[in-house]
Amino acid sequence: MSRQPEWSKLLTQLQHEYEYDAIETCALDGTCADVCPIGINTGALIKHFRKMEHSASAEEVALDVAKKWAEVEKLARHGVQAPDLVQTEPPPASGSDGLGTQCCQHGSGSKSSWPSPTRSFCVPSENEARGRGRRIFPSLHQSHLRRDNTKPSSPALPGTFVSLSERAGKPLWIPDDVRGLCCLTPWSSKAYKRGQTWMSEQMSEALWRWSDGGKLPVVDAASCTLGLKDDILEHLDDTRKDRPKLVTIIDSIAWCKDLLPSLTIHKTIPKILIHPTCSTTHLGLSETLLEISSDLADSAEIPLGTTCCGTAGDRGLLHPELVHSATRDTLVQIQSSGDDTCFVSANRTCELGMRQTTGKVYESFIYALEEATRLSE
């Protein structure tokens, strides 16, 4: 393109193709830097190109979405719950334990074992949680994107996570004012500066408030952990930049690893295949996820050739061909696994992408861990 004269037909055609080949279908996950000999992150360039394409009105809309994020969450929650309205299976029989059946493919329960609507998780009071020093910030996609339709529709992941931590004697508190807040990724990945700046400011204040001025840690899920650690600082002014640096943010994988000594695990899974997400890789937690999975199953492994699954938030939803391309090197190994294999990851959108391209049911490792420790009770 740089060699073509301005407004040439060839330049116009190349720019048209580049829009799809690069700008639209870049996963923007930064894993290209991991394999580049000199660590170049091409995704940063693509983010710059996306920013150049935004009009002033588009930036205004993105800012408005950020300011009305609580309403967006509500719409998203209703949208993903809509399929439940057409379910035809009967409700659970009385006496159900309310926690469903096995989360892994080899032991998936039928819909007749759906949890009882009266079952609730033990969420510690704010005062109790403050005294015992823990926090959790449930992200939008982890909270509202439902489990696979072959699984019980509840409990949702945040409730499972809270229950698991309570079982290990380390309760988590979900802040009452978490609605309308987000980890910034929806704006950062699409390079909407004004929306990201506004949400960064809100999150900076919220993290400071939830952590009692940096005294207590905040627990979150992988992609959101990375966003809160990195993206939040990008557009904050000097006054606000210092606060997030003083808040300790613990990823759910690292948190669960620390829970293991306080839990009794009953192994019922022959084999686990793991899909480490891009955020997991950047945070250096892929091996930790493998260690947790090894404690849950007779064998656990990350399939050869595993890299980014290409889902990249909404990229895989908008361009399914990206997911198929990204998983082509590991697809055969995954699809040839037996029926007794459990498939785990640590991000709901990545799990949806892997389900889409492999046909296997991927779920958060937290479900498998909760189940393995619940059976021992």
Question: What is the domain-level CATH number for residue 268?
Answer: 3.40.50
Same domain, yes or no: 39 and 61: no
* pLDDT score of 84: 47
Same domain, yes or no: 292 and 369: yes
Query: Is 94 part of any domain?
Result: no
Please provide residue 229's backbone torsions phi and psi, each rounded to the nearest 5 degrees: -85, -35
DSSP string of 262-281? Answer: G------EEEEEE---HHHH
Which of 240, 263, 286 finishes a domain? 263
Helix (H, G, I), strand (E, B) or coil at 197: helix
47 in Cβ contact with 29 (< 8 Å): no
269 in Cβ contact with 106 (< 8 Å): yes
Count of CB atoms within 10 A of residue 245's CB?
Answer: 10
Distance of CA 259 to the CA centre of its chain: 20
Predicted TM-score of the model (pTM): 0.80
Same domain, yes or no: 128 and 227: yes
Same domain, yes or no: 250 and 172: yes
Total domains in the fold of the chain: 3
The rounded distance, in Å, linking the Cα atoms of 247 and 250 is: 10
99-104-109 Cα angle (round to 5): 50
Helix (H, G, I), strand (E, B) or coil at 167: helix
Query: Is 99 part of any domain?
Result: no
Same domain, yes or no: 63 and 18: no
Same domain, yes or no: 250 and 286: no
Same domain, yes or no: 274 and 192: no
What tokens does 190 get?
A: 């699409």
pLDDT digit of tens for each residue in the chain (377 aa)?
999 998 899 999 999 999 999 999 998 888 888 889 999 999 989 999 999 999 999 999 999 999 988 888 777 666 555 444 444 443 333 333 333 334 454 433 333 222 222 222 333 445 554 555 555 655 544 555 667 767 776 678 888 888 899 999 988 888 888 888 888 888 888 888 999 999 989 988 888 888 888 888 888 876 788 888 877 887 788 777 888 888 888 999 999 999 999 999 998 899 999 999 988 988 899 999 999 999 999 999 999 988 889 888 888 888 999 999 999 988 888 988 888 899 999 988 899 899 988 989 999 999 999 999 986 45
Q: Give the range of the structural domain holding residue 337, as residue numbers without chain letter.
A: 264-377
Same domain, yes or no: 269 and 376: yes
Task: Give the CA count within 13 Å in the CB-facing half-sphere of 124.
Answer: 23
Query: Is 126 part of any domain?
Result: yes
Task: Give the CA count within 13 Å in the CB-facing half-sphere of 175.
Answer: 24
Which of 263, 278, 300 finishes a domain? 263
Query: Is 23 part of any domain?
Result: yes
Q: Decide: residue 247, CB within 10 A, 0-12 exposed, 13-18 middle, 19+ buried.
A: buried
Same domain, yes or no: 180 and 137: yes
Same domain, yes or no: 327 and 283: yes
